[in-house]
Structure 1
Amino acid sequence: MSENKGNPNVLVISAHALDFVWRCGGTIAKYSNAGSNVRIINLTLGERGESGDLWNGIENATEEQVKEIRTDEANKASEILGAELKIMDMGDHPLITDKENIIDLVKELREFQPEIILTHFTGDPLNPDHPEAAKLFYKALRAAQVPGVEPDTKILGPVKTFMFEPDQPEFCGFNPDAFIDITDVMEIKEKAMTVSESQKYMFDNYSRRAAYRGYIASRVSGNKEIKNAEAFKRFAPYTGQFFS
């Protein structure tokens, strides 16, 4: 459990360098500002398939050069959001994982002991790296919660998992059932989004998305103060003594 009573440890599993910024940057800032420990794990830097502006804009660009820029972007963005960042550098497009990657992620889960985990939706035909990241995470989550895997480490207890919104949800069958009001931290998210030189076009996309999701969240909740929100899909159904 988190050392901060009432402030859960939050882990974000991001396939590429800045996926976490676009999809849940506001939520990261909300939890960080509230006193939670937030850790982001970048499985890759997106150096091959998500850095088109760099490949097109730098003469004779190299993969190492692109990775260096993406690392800098991810570090700057996570710092703005108030989160710790770890880069696992598994390589993207395609992201292909194996047993060693699963065990590495198991160790991360057990070391950090998150209570809330945010990750990719399980379907995305437009970018197979995203569901592959989700697939890797759920394999690691299962393994982290059974005692026979890495028995010298503390097993992971129950966690609440939420899958964040894909870039083009209409192609992915994504129907959110949870919204986080990020109105009060939208400026922080926008600041984090502006560090990207490799995916500048995403700024407008997710600024508009936040406003649209804010409209939906406001309608659903009746709270007219909600102007910006981020959308998520629960992995497991809600369980409690009463509806919440």
Structure 2
Amino acid sequence: MSEVDQNTMKEKAAQRAADTVWSGMRLGVGTGSTVKFFIDALGKRRKEGLALGAVVTTSDRSRQQLESLGFTVGELSDVEHLDLTIDGADRVDSHLDGIKGGGGALTMEKNVAVHSLHNTWIVDESKVVDHLGGFPLPVEVLPISAKQVFNQFADEGLLPRFRTTDTNERYVTHYGNFIIDLYIDPLPAPRGLASYLDSTVGVVEHGLFLGICDTVIIAHEDNTIEIKKRQ
């Protein structure tokens, strides 16, 4: 699949998602290449009269894009809850569970998602898998104990690697933490692994988003749009 074809699919999924947004809604907006198309579509709807009650986003990049289109972006702490959050996903399975955090914003993404009444993910068909895997699982960790946590993951056979920048320095998140990517593939037992990570001292958050997504909008290469909802 060419990059042009993939971008066309992403744009179609993003447009379908934008059509589900209504005036007065308190909206959460994620980050990533597909969400960029969604924000562009949202900007067109604003010109047509869309007026949102509140907008919260998970990244500076999305904030800048939204503000450039005339939206006022607030903080999650400013709202009791969000009506809908629209985001992308790095992988999503048939149960609508997913891996997120490839862009490094997993902690904010999960905070926004769990405080939203409904979560929709927009993806192209390349992100859909039968069993979660095919993408490193990000784990955000505190710098003070990052070495110990890394060694613990290695002892457990989770194949950890510190995420690094283009200059080979450790990647630092918005909250000043490091990310350890786990290269186990496929994930042996996502819920068991999530429980293990949740209980590991030094782990801030992980990229397993289980039981969170309600709807997935999937753009296929044959120009069809598939919508899956949690049963």
TM-score range, shorter chain: 0.3 to 0.5
- Name the one with the larger helix percent: 1
Give TM-score, length-normalised by structure 1: 0.32
In the superposition, the TM-score normalised over structure 2's length comes to: 0.33
Structure with bigger strand share is: 2
